[in-house]
Structure 1
Amino acid sequence: MGGVDKPATGQHPGILFVNSKITKPDELSPEDYTKWYEKVHIPDIFKTSGIKEASRWQTVDPKSERPYLALYPLEDLTFLETDEFKAIPVHDDSLPGSHAIFDFADFDTRYYKFVQHYEAEGTKSGQPDFVIAAGFTPADEEDYDNWYRQEHLMEISGITGWRKTQRYALTFARQNRKPAGEKQLAEPPKFLTLHFFDGSSLPEKELAGAGESEWTKKQLGSMKETQMAIFKKLSQYTK
C-alpha cells in the first residue's frame, strides 16, 4: 500500500489516552458502563471547549486487564491543565451506590504530544476497525526514531488493511484522579504508537513478518519497557 509522512501542520498536537476497566462487575455491568460512557460521559466532555472528537475501543484479548480504550484528539495540550477539564463530572445518578464512577471503574489516563503522522495516500475518514497500541521506552531514543522513520513505518504500511500510524511522546500520566503522592500505576512507556487498520480481522502472519528485520529485532530486544494491545472499534463521536 505504502504511506506518506505528514507534517505537524493540520495534525492534532496531542491525544488523551484513557485505558479503563470495571472494578466491581457485580455492581456495574459492561452494558451499564457503556451506557454511562457514551450517553453521559462523552456528552459531558463535549460540553467543554477543548475536546471535539472521541472514539471508544475494546480489546480483542479476553484476558486483558484493561479491556476498554478511549482516544480523544486534542487541539491544545494545555487544555488538560485547565479547571474546565478538571471539572468534567465523575458522578451521575445513573451509577449505583455513591454515583461516583471511580468507585466502580479504574482509569489509566495519559497525555501525549504529537511526534509523527504517517498515512496511506487517499486515506478515508471514519473510525478504523482496529488499533494496535504499542508503548515503548527505548534504550536509544535516536536510533528508535530512525528505525521508525527509515524502516518500520514502510514495513507496516505494506500490510493488508493498514490505514495510518500516529506516534506520540508521553507528557503526563495518572490513575483516576488520585492526589499527588498517592500510589499510582507504574510509569507507562515514554512513547506511544497507534497503528490503525481496516478489515474484518488483522493479518497476523503479515504483522509477525514485520518484526523479522535485524534492525527491528535489535530495537525490540533492547527496549526498557514494552506494552502492546490490540483493540477493535466500538464507537466514534464528533462534537
Structure 2
Amino acid sequence: MPQKYMLWVNSRPKPGSGIHDDLWVKWYTEEHVRVTIVSIHATCSQIIQVPDLVNSKTAVRAAMYRESFDFALAAKEHHPRRYLVLYQTDFEECLKSKEYVNDVRHSSEKWPADKVTADVGDFNGRNYKLIQDYDPDGRGETAPPFCVTVEMDPVDEADLDKWYREEHLDMLHKLPGYRRSSRYVIGPKAPLTEGDPPKYLAIHEVDGLTGLDGKEAEAANSTPWTVKSIKESKAFVARAWELVYSQGF
C-alpha cells in the first residue's frame, strides 16, 4: 500500500539556464532521487542535492517519469514541464520537515557558476493525501513502467468518489496491462505549488500505453456515468508518463 502522503514535483530545466534535459535527468537520477532515498528513507527535497542526509526519514520511495504523448487522451498542447517525480512520504508537508529545513543544500556541482537549483529549475510542487488504494491483483509497491495521472475538480465530490469505487476502477482493471490505481486529495499548499490545482488526483499504473487506446478503454470512458463525471468536472487533466528511475521500491 502507498504511504499516507505524497509529494508531486513537476519540473523542467528553466529556459535560458543553460541546463539541457540530459543533465536534468542526470542530476535527478545520480544525485537527487538516488541520494534522498538511500536506505529507503531520506529527506524529500524538490530542489536540492543532499549527500549528507542519508539517515533522515522523510520520503520512503520515489519514482521519476518523463511525459509521453502517445495515448488517446493526450492534450494537443504539450505542458512545458515534462518531468514528474512522485515522493511517497509519511509526512503531510515534507518540505516543512526539520530534515528539509535544517539539513539540505540547495545547489549542485552540476550547475554552472555555482548557481542554486532554484535558479536553473522550473518547479511545481504539491502535497497530496491518499484516499484510495485500488490493487485488485495484489501487486504491491513496484514502480510501474508507465502511469497516467488524472486531475479532476468535481462539483459533486461524493458522486465522483462513488463513480471511481463502484464503476470506473473495475472497468479500468480490464485494460490490457493494467496494474493498479491510487487516488489522492490535494493537501496543504507546498512552497512550490502553482495556482490552485484540481482537488483530486488519480494515478493509474500500466505496463504500456497501448491498452489506453483499445476497446476496454473505450468502454470505460464512454459509460453515461463517466461522461457525466468528466463533463461536470471543473477541470480534467490527463497526462501519461514513462518511468525514468526509481528508488526505494
Q: Note whether the superposition's TM-score is higher than 0.5.
A: yes
Show the 5 A alignment for 1:33-112: 33-42=24-33, 43-44=35-36, 46=42, 47=54, 48-61=56-69, 63-86=78-101, 87-112=103-128
In 1: Cα distance, 2:247 partner to 2:177 partner: 22
Name 2:174's counterpart in structure 1.
158
Q: Does the aligned pair in 2 maintain the 1:44–1:89 contact within 8 Å? A: no
The superposition leaves residues 194-232 of structure 1 with CA deviations (integer Å, 9 ceiling, x where unpaired) of 000013744313333321000111110001112211001
Among 223, 230, 244, the alignment partner of 1:213 is: 223
Q: How much has 1:175 moved relative to structure 2? A: 5.9
In 2: Cα distance, 1:230 partner to 1:11 partner: 20
Count the aligned residue pairs: 223
Secondary structure of 2:169's partner? helix
Bigger shift: residues 47-56 or 200-209:
200-209
Q: How much has 1:31 moved relative to structure 2? A: 1.3
In 2: Cα distance, 1:54 partner to 1:99 partner: 25
In 2: Cα distance, 1:83 partner to 1:154 partner: 41
Alpha carbons of 1:22 and 1:75: their partners in 2 closer, same or farther (altered >3 Å)? same
Show the 5 A alignment for 1:59-208: 59-61=67-69, 63-86=78-101, 87-123=103-139, 126-174=142-190, 176=192, 185-199=194-208, 201-205=210-214, 206-208=216-218
Name 1:179's counterpart in structure 2.
none
Q: Does the aligned pair in 2 maintain the 1:108–1:173 contact within 8 Å? A: no
Alpha carbons of 1:154 and 1:237: their partners in 2 closer, same or farther (altered >3 Å)? same
In 2: Cα distance, 1:126 partner to 1:25 partner: 36
In 2: Cα distance, 1:78 partner to 1:17 partner: 11
Alpha carbons of 1:122 and 1:44: their partners in 2 closer, same or farther (altered >3 Å)? closer
Q: 1:30 corresponds to which letter in structure 2?
A: D
Q: Does the aligned pair in 1 maintain the 2:11–2:122 contact within 8 Å? A: yes
In 1: Cα distance, 2:189 partner to 2:173 partner: 29
Unmatched 5+ stretches in structure 2: 43-53, 71-77
Higher strand share: 1
Alpha carbons of 1:125 and 1:74: their partners in 2 closer, same or farther (altered >3 Å)? closer
Alpha carbons of 1:167 and 1:130: their partners in 2 closer, same or farther (altered >3 Å)? same
In 1: Cα distance, 2:240 partner to 2:231 partner: 21
Moved beyond 3 Å, runs of 4+ = 173-176, 199-203
Q: How much has 1:148 moved relative to structure 2? A: 0.6
Q: Does the aligned pair in 1 maintain the 2:175–2:211 contact within 8 Å? A: no
Identity %: 26
Q: How much has 1:41 moved relative to structure 2? A: 1.6
